[in-house]
Structure 1
Amino acid sequence: MEEQKANVRAVERALDILLCFTDATDLGLSEISSRLSLHKSTVHRLLATLENKGFLIRDVETEKYRLGFRIWELSANLTHNDDPATMLLPEMERLRDLVEETISLYVRDGMERIRIQAVQSKQPIRRVAPIGARMPLTVGASSKVLVAYADAAVARELLEDPDWPDFVSRESYVEQLEQIRQQGFATSVEERELGTAAVAAPIFNRNGQLVASIAASGPSNRLTQEKMSQYAPFIKEAAYRMGKMMK
């Protein structure tokens, strides 16, 4: 039994190491050890195993690690039905060309949202949206969409979170969730970043389940409330088409 627990713990730690690379392209032993609060000797053994299996590559000059080709081999076997980031890309590009702003696709992961796909605006001044970025559910148009249409338990857990930001009114947030459910879209202006605004809509699959949110974002001086109201029907229509593509 103890041996089984140790094996499971080793697997969990190895996966935690790989997850360190969701927001970094290369990391050294000390950086990974610090991030995970693990002894360097433990991390070193796991890194050696991951390197031998091809999941990580070590730069002999810098002694830093980056994701290996085995990761890409695994991702290549994702089917379009399993990978909305790939399947919905043409629709995202179509929507980008229509509203001329950056389009992002988000999914909820616990009490965070993750940007799993983005199509950058062609405007010279635009909202740059890095794929893989994690953001809180307390602010932002897509966050509010993902909470508004999730199970009620998600909103309750979020509202009871002791780390709820002081600058966000819980009462106002709840009112916004109800408004989003009534109108079918959400907007935000400088809620997470100064100078940016966004308008988002939910994507439901053919079974009526919420799977993601789609958002257009850009500079707040260009993406005004009036503009966002004009774009909302286009975004909702695109979200509807995307949902019909998903099981």
Structure 2
Amino acid sequence: MAEHAPDASGKEPRAEAKGASVIVNVIQVLRCFTLDEPLLGVTEIALRVGLHKSSVSRILATLEDQNIVERDEESRKFRLGLGLIAVAGPLLANLDVRRVAFPTLAELSETTGETAALTIWNGGEAISVEQIPSSKQVKHTSPMGSRYNTALSASVQVFLAHEPESEVRGLLESGSVILDPDTPGGIEAYLLRLAAVRDAGYAVNHGETNIEEVGLAAPVHDHRGAVIAAVMIAAPYYRVPAERLQVLGRACRQAATQIGLRLGALPR
């Protein structure tokens, strides 16, 4: 029986096939770890991937050496390690949040019947970078690149709600972010409002900056847990009675969560 001839690279086909098989096994082992089951033992993994326990042990030992997996001190089971961040980091950092958000924004606009937008924060303003206009004849839209620095704007509330209190005070006191001096309770009341935004997961501007417009916004988190954008719904005031605010707020929050998950954020 003739032997397998080396290919152009000089490698034996069987060796290449074996190498590919090892890689597949490693990937299968890594895919066993999920959000529902972050801790797994050798026996559990072996049963799921159909490999002998000794093979799984060797794979895990190599992955542990590279910090791809690590042992839980109490259970001695394995979980994914921080070494994965070094592998996935470049991909996560280069994901275009605008591109990732587009289909979710389109769906949000369709299901709510209102304009859906995406804003980012430049340190003192919320800037519109994407928008799906409402299909209805009467709608609220804004030009791409529109900037918002009024404290009661929904997207501004979202970004400030996740900034340190000292930073928020500095922006308000310097006038970089504008809070009407006649606002009841002033800065202290506004800080309490931001705390409520964090708890609810979305912010509401019910005709407070424009009597004809309602805005709702929710934060988009990345894989580090940082707020990198906000999803916003804009609608005519007459179409959003108080009882509809919670429905739109939840829809906005869900859309922001979906975008965050695609960026590697953990479920909240």
Q: Please identify, of 230-239 and 122-131, the stretch whose mean Cα deviation from structure 2 is larger.
A: 230-239
- Whole-angstrom distance in 2 between the partners of 1:152 and 1:174: 8
- Whole-angstrom distance in 2 between the partners of 1:122 and 1:206: 33
- Whole-angstrom distance in 1 between the partners of 2:141 and 2:120: 18
TM-score, length basis structure 1: 0.63
The ranges of structure 1 where at least 4 consecutive aligned residues each deviate by more than 6 angstroms after the TM superposition are none
How far residue 194 of structure 1 moved from its aligned partner, in angstroms, is 2.7
- Whole-angstrom distance in 1 between the partners of 2:138 and 2:181: 31
Matched, 1:166 2:181: yes
Residue 104 (structure 1) aligned to one of 104, 117, 129: 117
User: Aligned pair in 2 of structure 1 residues 153, 233: CA closer, same or farther (>3 Å)?
Assistant: same
Task: In structure 1, list runs of 5 or more residues that go unmatched.
Answer: 1-78
- Whole-angstrom distance in 1 between the partners of 2:207 and 2:104: 26
Cα RMSD (Å) of the superposition? 2.0
Helix, strand or coil at the partner of 2:116: strand
Residue 185 (structure 1) aligned to one of 197, 202, 215: 202
CA offsets, 1:154-198, max 9 Å, x none? 312123224643243323311210111111111012222230001
Matched, 1:116 2:129: yes
- Whole-angstrom distance in 1 between the partners of 2:149 and 2:171: 10
TM-score, length basis structure 2: 0.59
Conservation of the 8 A alpha-carbon contact between 1:201 and 1:236? yes
CA offsets, 1:44-100, max 9 Å, x none? xxxxxxxxxxxxxxxxxxxxxxxxxxxxxxxxxxx9944212221011001111111
- Whole-angstrom distance in 2 between the partners of 1:185 and 1:162: 24
Greater gyration radius: 2
- Whole-angstrom distance in 2 between the partners of 1:244 and 1:162: 35
Residue 100 (structure 2) aligned to one of 79, 87, 94: 87
Residue 226 (structure 1) aligned to one of 231, 234, 243: 243
- Whole-angstrom distance in 1 between the partners of 2:225 and 2:244: 29
Residue equivalent to 1:141: 154
- Whole-angstrom distance in 1 between the partners of 2:251 and 2:237: 19
- Whole-angstrom distance in 2 between the partners of 1:101 and 1:187: 15
User: Aligned pair in 2 of structure 1 residues 111, 80: CA closer, same or farther (>3 Å)?
Assistant: closer
- Whole-angstrom distance in 2 between the partners of 1:191 and 1:144: 12
Q: Please identify, of 222-231 and 160-169, the stretch whose mean Cα deviation from structure 2 is larger.
A: 160-169
User: Aligned pair in 2 of structure 1 residues 161, 242: CA closer, same or farther (>3 Å)?
Assistant: same
Conservation of the 8 A alpha-carbon contact between 1:206 and 1:246? yes
Q: Please identify, of 124-133 and 185-194, the stretch whose mean Cα deviation from structure 2 is larger.
A: 185-194
Helix, strand or coil at the partner of 2:98: helix
Identity %: 24
Helix, strand or coil at the partner of 1:110: coil
- Whole-angstrom distance in 1 between the partners of 2:216 and 2:167: 21
Helix, strand or coil at the partner of 1:193: coil
State the number of aligned residues. Answer: 169
Conservation of the 8 A alpha-carbon contact between 1:101 and 1:216? yes
- Whole-angstrom distance in 1 between the partners of 2:255 and 2:121: 19
How far residue 137 of structure 1 moved from its aligned partner, in angstroms, is 4.5
How far residue 124 of structure 1 moved from its aligned partner, in angstroms, is 0.8
Task: In structure 2, list runs of 5 or more residues that go unmatched.
Answer: 1-91
Residue equivalent to 2:258: 241
Conservation of the 8 A alpha-carbon contact between 2:169 and 2:187? no
Conservation of the 8 A alpha-carbon contact between 1:188 and 1:198? yes
How far residue 238 of structure 1 moved from its aligned partner, in angstroms, is 1.1
User: Aligned pair in 2 of structure 1 residues 127, 162: CA closer, same or farther (>3 Å)?
Assistant: closer
Residue equivalent to 2:169: 156
Helix, strand or coil at the partner of 1:160: helix
